[in-house]
Structure 1
């Protein structure tokens, strides 16, 4: 086994260069194609022309936008987002996919499927072992190998119940000079939250400005520096009331958590509820005196394993646990993924080699919920999603065990 200090995930040399088809898939070529993308987004997501134009201004056409052409027309478009996700305490490179849309006159022809297949080939060639998205419709993404891999829950708390006396820590508005410390604070927190984003510029921009709604940030400091922070958007309701939407909230200590909850409770004269997104295991809820909150599923997110061996080696694994698993994977899109693998885990790391007995057999689609820990191997076997003997099911259950995978960010 290689040590954690020397081992790195690297793209395979033969896959680094991506060539787009001359008449098919690639970045928009000119203003006419950009206008076509804006039109597709407007129709696909029932946006106004102004909102669609504002959305287009927030993207980087050459880096982030991709279109699929049919003849001289743009038939479909999407946005790719380069970032990471934390699994087992390690950041795994992922390609996020958003704003997938097809022109109304090109629907019903398999355009969306071809668009996603092109995107997945580019994503794999970039060296990213995973792709992640929120599905507006599931059958499309399942056809190209995505499956449920985690959840995003909406957490709502009644503001009058936040009756905390904590004021020992300083709380002040976040300034531009604080941003590097905020990023480090988030990473310190997120690395232990399975599935959370290792944010890039795109995700951080959404924390601070949610589609034109500016979030106001507040920093909680103690004698040793940053102990927590939050970003809040105050949304007006009827009769002068308001609700508080937290685009991000992090607390590293009990005192910081109580100080944040006290700050939110200080809004009780006008604010009715505060809400944010995360997992069912949000630790802030432990501090509430009563169950004056609700936790509701907002959406499942889906993952596509692009490179089986690279994905298994890139994530972290339980410390102090050693074991092996013999896999056999089926993949309709990438023949390179097809076949048998031996996964060997030791001291929080994995090595993968070809071969073995293939005692746990599954499609690459069903590898996603196993990989993230959303579903255990015994549950997947009960649903017919994999075939395995009892010993392999027990081994997979131990190796892939961990906190429930969740996401705070929408993209």
Structure 2
């Protein structure tokens, strides 16, 4: 094996762009588009490029993006894995797996405790230790089905100018830190390049105090034939229930211009309960006897813990549980994660050190993808145990673990 794995050099952008264009052929995404994206993309540039070289030729590439993700109120350093490309002549040889395992080690060395991605095939990334870590319920409904509130709707105004954009960013940051888990700690580059497009618009909800309490970013799907056009809610954030009602009310008022709204709801949002008729249109999805379809389940984000002890030390916990576990992790790619670890839970924190014996309250054994899902809040410990994804020698401890790891289900708007 003569492959080497390393960061890309500036003079290799042309070669990497050619590789990407072969791997992701699409209209309007040729060589020049990829060159610009790899240098000026919204989530990273040359500093994030990782390549595989064999006998002087680049045969593989991906992005190891520098990111911070809010998990349990902590902005954690994570590696965003993007645009994995293998030369057409080198596929089905295990090259992607070897390149990514080398990338894991590189990310660990620079301090990343986890990695996030959107998969081209979930099963491939599950084999590398990633677990599914996010869901959305997608509705496509006429605006009039949303609840109106004439008073709260008056507090919704279009985003116009730098002061409004600053208010929108402040709302996002507070919600990501205090109310949600899974969202990115956005940089100036993210904000500047990820949403300012001609087909997007944004509104803010202003509270009685004069402070912004919520916003929504929508996309005008005017690129479609007239009879199929709709408005798409790309992002919505609120800090108060009044802001939530105001944004719903504003969306409900758009029926004169748009026949339908596409809305992706957080699983815990209860969006279907707000609709006057939650049933999907006839024949849009199969029913089940007297049961009717209401929304489409979307899945996408995946997460992998790269550094078990450091990730657990950063993770804040709920409640006041005190508990000591022996933790054994099955990790085929990163042997340093396997442990066993002594994990002491107290005061909403975890102390982690190698386990060399002595008293523990129980022993927990699980694969890294299951640990990753529990870590980010996508899977409760009881669900892992009942599904055979994890084993604990003292089942009576499961309710205490559930309480400790409880956070809102992960939610992430940013795609990369």
Q: Normalised by the shorter chain, which TM-score bucket? A: 0.7 to 0.9
Does 1:215 find its partner at 2:219?
no
Q: What does residue range 168-317 of structure 1 map to in structure 2 within 5 Å?
A: 168-191=154-177, 192-201=179-188, 203-205=190-192, 207-209=194-196, 214-224=199-209, 225-236=211-222, 237-239=224-226, 242-282=229-269, 287-291=274-278, 294-317=294-317
RMSD, matched Cα: 2.7
Give the secondary structure class of the aligned counterpart of 1:272. Answer: coil
Q: 2:396 corresponds to which residue?
A: 391
Q: Give unpaired runs (5+ residues) of structure 2.
A: 40-44, 281-293
Q: 1:71 corresponds to which residue?
A: 55
Deviation at 1:232, TM superposition (A): 1.6
How far, CA to CA, are the matches of 1:142 and 1:135 in structure 2? Answer: 10
Q: What does residue range 116-155 of structure 1 map to in structure 2 within 5 Å?
A: 116-155=100-139
Does 1:401 find its partner at 2:406?
yes
Give the secondary structure class of the aligned counterpart of 1:325. Answer: strand
Does 1:333 find its partner at 2:321?
no
**C-alpha contact (below 8 Å) 1:84/1:94 kept by paired residues:** yes
How far, CA to CA, are the matches of 2:208 and 2:397 in structure 1? Answer: 50
Does 1:102 find its partner at 2:106?
no
**C-alpha contact (below 8 Å) 1:220/1:256 kept by paired residues:** yes
How far, CA to CA, are the matches of 1:218 and 1:115 in structure 2? Answer: 43
**C-alpha contact (below 8 Å) 2:50/2:63 kept by paired residues:** yes
How far, CA to CA, are the matches of 2:208 and 2:338 in structure 1? Answer: 54
Q: Indicate how the Cα distance of structure 1 residues 55 and 344 shifts in structure 2: closer, same or farther if over 3 A, else same.
A: same
Q: Indicate how the Cα distance of structure 1 residues 285 and 322 shifts in structure 2: closer, same or farther if over 3 A, else same.
A: farther
Give the secondary structure class of the aligned counterpart of 2:38. Answer: coil
**C-alpha contact (below 8 Å) 1:158/1:292 kept by paired residues:** no
Q: 2:142 corresponds to which residue?
A: 158
**C-alpha contact (below 8 Å) 2:13/2:38 kept by paired residues:** no
Give the secondary structure class of the aligned counterpart of 2:406. Answer: coil
Q: Which of 17, 40, 55 is residue 38 of structure 1 equivalent to?
A: 17
Q: Indicate how the Cα distance of structure 1 residues 202 and 136 shifts in structure 2: closer, same or farther if over 3 A, else same.
A: farther
Q: 1:376 corresponds to which residue?
A: 380
Deviation at 1:116, TM superposition (A): 0.6
How far, CA to CA, are the matches of 1:180 and 1:348 in structure 2? Answer: 32
TM-score by length of 1: 0.84
Does 1:25 find its partner at 2:5?
yes
How far, CA to CA, are the matches of 2:271 and 2:32 in structure 1? Answer: 38
Q: Give unpaired runs (5+ residues) of structure 1.
A: 1-21
Q: 2:346 corresponds to which residue?
A: 346
Larger deviation, residues 292-301 vs 99-108: 292-301
Deviation at 1:213, TM superposition (A): 5.6
How far, CA to CA, are the matches of 1:333 and 1:170 in structure 2? Answer: 50
Q: Indicate how the Cα distance of structure 1 residues 58 and 213 shifts in structure 2: closer, same or farther if over 3 A, else same.
A: farther
Deviation at 1:392, TM superposition (A): 4.1
- CA-to-aligned-CA distance 1:194-223 (integer Å, 9 cap, x gap): 3222223454356414xx664222222234
**C-alpha contact (below 8 Å) 1:227/1:253 kept by paired residues:** yes
* Greater strand proportion: 1
Does 1:84 find its partner at 2:84?
no
Q: Indicate how the Cα distance of structure 1 residues 49 and 264 shifts in structure 2: closer, same or farther if over 3 A, else same.
A: closer
Give the secondary structure class of the aligned counterpart of 2:129. Answer: coil
Q: 1:361 corresponds to which residue?
A: 365
**C-alpha contact (below 8 Å) 1:241/1:270 kept by paired residues:** no
Q: 1:53 corresponds to which residue?
A: 32
Deviation at 1:320, TM superposition (A): 3.3
How far, CA to CA, are the matches of 2:248 and 2:386 in structure 1? Answer: 42
TM-score by length of 2: 0.83
**C-alpha contact (below 8 Å) 1:112/1:140 kept by paired residues:** no
**C-alpha contact (below 8 Å) 1:207/1:247 kept by paired residues:** no
**C-alpha contact (below 8 Å) 1:278/1:406 kept by paired residues:** no
